[in-house]
A = this chain, B = another copy of it.
Amino acid sequence: MNYFLFAFVLAGFSAYAQPAFQVVPLGVKGGVDESNLSAYALAASGTQDYVCLDAGTLHTGIRAAIKKKVWKGDATAFLRKHVKGYLISHPHYDHANGLITNSPDDSAKYIYGIESCLSVLKEKHFSWKSWANFGNEGEAPTLNKYTYQTLVPGKEVPLHNTPLFVTPFVLSHVSPTESTAFLVRSGDSYLLYLGDTGCDRLEKSDKLMQLWTAIAPLIQTKKLKAVFIEVSFANEQPDNSLFGHLTPNLLKEELSVLEKLTGAGQLKNLNVVITHMKPLGNREETIRKQIASGNTLSVNFIFPQQGKALTF
């Protein structure tokens, strides 16, 4: 093997082995525990320019990552310097508490969301009556620390001050509440994060079908590196008490729909990160067992931990 061929093979191997994304979970739970609510810091590999996918818990999560030596320094300083924007899937507090709580000491950055989400942030969260208006829109006076950028479903836009791009998709979280899935791109690699969502059958919706149809080609071409999706309740939760959430069985029902679109066997080893388990008694342990049981699609299920980095 001559030198050039050797270098070429090395470069090819390197490109294959190199992960495209780093994700640091800042909060992984779907309720109750104020110190650990949905928030995932995402960066293109090799950069320290993160966006947060939801912002339920920020400070406590950054502290956890520093304790685990994933990051270093002071938590507030890290947030100010390295988190370049927030993508909020929907405005429920367990996805926005950290953003609100940290806003007085945060630096100027962007908040991304679909129109129905941003309008609630402006009307309810940063409303002066409930909290100072750190945004650039909503009730006057606006403090203009945060710049809202309205995302249009299906349309890709760049995420400022990062090499990343995002395409939003609308999800159904008990009509009329809309939630959002964010398809994030880095170069030719993709990562999909879903906010809270019910399954199409029970939501009487085709939103997940639309999303699965859009991403199926990315699975077939191995460009989709991971899917973050919620499983809030265990299988025992009655259908009429799901409040727009998934169970292990409902997740598998939706993954089967996706597999039909991609072709048999195409979901094998797909990284599926389980988010938003709602703590109550031993429910989280039950969900873990129910997810692992009967994994006929051979998906690679991952249970994230606060402050522990994942690469894809």
Among the 9-residue stretches A1-9, A11-19, A27-35, A209-217, the one with 4 or more Cβ atoms under 8 Å from chain B is A27-35
Tell me whether A125 is interfacial, beta carbon within 8 Å. yes
Give the distance to chain B from A220, nearest Cβ to Cβ, in Å: 38
Instruction: Flag if B31 contacts A60 (CB, 8 Å).
Output: no
Instruction: Flag if A92 contacts B31 (CB, 8 Å).
Output: no
Give the distance to chain B from A201, nearest Cβ to Cβ, in Å: 23
Q: Which of B31, B94, B120 contacts A105 (CB 8 A)?
A: B31
Q: Which of B76, B94, B105, B280 contacts A76 (CB 8 A)?
A: B280
Instruction: Flag if A32 contacts B129 (CB, 8 Å).
Output: no
Number of copies: 2
Q: Which of B35, B104, B125, B132 contacts A130 (CB 8 A)?
A: B125
Give the distance to chain B from A283, nearest Cβ to Cβ, in Å: 11
Q: A31-B101, A34-B60, A60-B35 are in contact. Are A74 and B281 (CB under 8 A)?
A: yes
Tell me whether A37 is interfacial, beta carbon within 8 Å. yes
Instruction: Flag if A98 contacts B281 (CB, 8 Å).
Output: no
Q: Number of contacting residues on A, CB 8 A?
A: 37
Q: Which residues of B contact A278 (CB under 8 A)?
A: 104
Instruction: Flag if B98 contacts A34 (CB, 8 Å).
Output: yes
Smallest CB gap from A26: residue in B: B34
Q: Which residues of B contact A113 (CB under 8 A)?
A: none
Instruction: Flag if B102 contacts A93 (CB, 8 Å).
Output: no
A102 to B32, CA, bound (A): 5
Instruction: Flag if A93 contacts B57 (CB, 8 Å).
Output: no
A243 to B105, CA, bound (A): 13
Q: A130-B93, A130-B120 are in contact. Are A104 and B59 (CB under 8 A)?
A: no
Give 11 A-B contacts (CB < 8 Å), ordered by A residue. A32-B104, A33-B101, A34-B59, A35-B35, A35-B60, A37-B101, A76-B280, A92-B130, A104-B278, A124-B127, A125-B130
Chain A positions near chain B (C-beta within 8 angstroms): 31-35, 37, 57-60, 74, 76, 91-94, 97-98, 100-102, 104-105, 120, 123-125, 127, 129-132, 243, 278-281
